[in-house]
Structure 1
Amino acid sequence: MFAQTFAQYELAFIMSIFARKPIVGPLMLLLAIAMLYPVYWFYAATRMETQFSLWVENLRARGFAITHGSASTAGFPGIVRFSIDKPNFRSPDGHWVWRGNAVHLGMQPWNWRRYRLEFSGLQQIQLSYPILKQTIRLVPKSAVAVLGIQSNGSFAEGEVTLRSISVMDVEKALVLFTEDMWFKVTQPENRISKAEQTVVSVATSIDNLLLPAVAQGPLGGRLARIQLVADLKGPLPKDITRQGLDEWRQTGGSIDASWFNLVWGAFDLRGRGSVSIDKSITPVGSMTADIRGYSKTMDALEDAGIMTGTGAAALRMGMNVFAKTSSADGANVLTVPLTMRSGYLHAGPFQILKLPPIILPSR
């Protein structure tokens, strides 16, 4: 009798819960999510593995040499984490090779258009382009990349952050070292080949670039900061060769920089402008530059014997006359129009230095 009464009471209690419609709806939704989410997560993980395999097959068909060790998937119930051991990537022309210890590709299960790559252990990027004169190796202490995909499946943007990058020659002698490097590329969803349209937008920042002794000048051996924000216009060349760049030039290709900053010793240049190339593949263009620290820079150039005599004195006097005080930081700022034409760099009416042509393979 007691058991029957208790069962009736329990049934009535359960029925009363389902009678509360505002509660039943959310409970059923949570139950459905709890049951379906594992299925969805493993489907997303399988899709990531499949997409990676298709990507490798596609690149191999285009001539890239790609090998890697074991691959595994983990992370349930959170970020889908696809790990690849010992990746090895070589371009068809052999101009660049990437070898790594491991790479981890992460994706939020609810966002299939954004991926995060973390590179663990030793990573080496070997560059053998003719313009470099010799093979060099880039070895970062850590590297992280974020990739975005358009709704049509094409590349949208990529962002790379490198820490403590050592650049070495074939004998493993240190050529360059920089603490931090950040690089971002953004591509419009609808690419237009017209010259006036932006094909790719780039932004980069390099902090504390240490130069080798042979490249250190009167301004010292450390570039505190290099920054660039620019739009690349005109149909991009398929190959970085003289023929490819000449075709880009003929279609109106240019690099329009909305921001450029170079800090080298006391010299602080901040500018904007547009750059292209002429028939001899030599840079041409114009830029408006705001220069801070010009007085100390002149001191360094005179101490090094690069600028001497009445010419240096006249230039210093002219700078002081045309410089203005910045309302932002109170520094003396010299605004100078820079132009690259006929193979020379000009600052206002003064010819500063000769510009060498860009050395590239013919085709």
Structure 2
Amino acid sequence: MVELLYGSGGVAEGLKPSPAPLGLLDPPTMVATQQDRTPWDDVPGLEEQQRRHLARIYRWGVLWRKPGEGETPVTERYRLEHGGEVEADGNCLFTALSAAMGGKVGARELRRRAVARFVEDYERDDGVGRRAMDEAIGHLYSPDLKAGWGVHVVQELKFLAKKADRLGLDAAIRELVDLGLQRETAAESIYKERCMPVDDCQSWAKYMSISGSPEDEFQIITLQYTEEGLLTVDENRDGRAAAFGDDIAIRSLATEFKRQVYVVQAHGADAMVEEEHCVFFLPHNPRGHICEPPIFLFMKGTGWCGAGADHYEPLLATPILPTSQEKAAVVL
């Protein structure tokens, strides 16, 4: 996962690697209670090393210090508990965030506010910031297929098709098939020629507005490639595919609510990380001041996607009595 970082003055600098993981402390007093049962024992799909570290966080809490200069220091400690599973669709980020916030704002409204905040911030940026943002979005959704194969086995290009144009697109594809082209090759050609690529801020805003509902203006077309060439064409003919919430959307929501959003990643043995680092916290900071406590989301890395799954679930943060840094499981 990568996070979109902003420099001073709110100017976008593009995608950079996420900050170094915030690791777990290991107070000696934790050992005596290691066998005690916690709610994490009932969460399905976790490996033992993940469960052990999450139980430790539950018992000893997360110590959060409100960032900011010249302000009265604020230190709070939270117990983190799994907030339940959410449907594994493109809306999972917004559904999980809604649950983590106590259901005060619905998932569809969170998606709408993420897009609106992004557009407002983009319009306030100068030319350098806008170009950097456009370039970052292009790397995410319209990557250069001549590069990147040392990191990715499969790369995707995202396009937007207007629902009103679907019949015309189908007719154009049939014409090419009648001329002897294979169906997927014909579809690739027509979608590239007639649909909108997701490669800048304006197209990202249209893309991220898609929730897979009948009210959507656009449908998502996904072309998947391997280094050898076209792999599949996902035409999304039923229009149910939603735009997966990304780091840009998380950052926009952090800014909208003036709160940090921490994505807590729990990786299994397949992620090839040392056990003491299998759980770590990735911060998404708002532009401007932080006025409210943080929000926590859970990303459970298991199976082949262990090093970068993008399925989010809510974490419920319960305030508990503050303690010293040495007695907290994690210090943020």
| TM-score exceeds 0.5 | no
Question: Higher helix proportion, which one?
Answer: 2
- For Structure 1 versus Structure 2, the TM-score category normalised by the shorter chain is under 0.3
Larger RCO: 1 or 2 (CA < 8 Å, sep 6+): 2
TM-score, normalised on structure 1?
Answer: 0.20
TM-score, normalised on structure 2?
Answer: 0.21
- Structure with max Cα Rg: 1
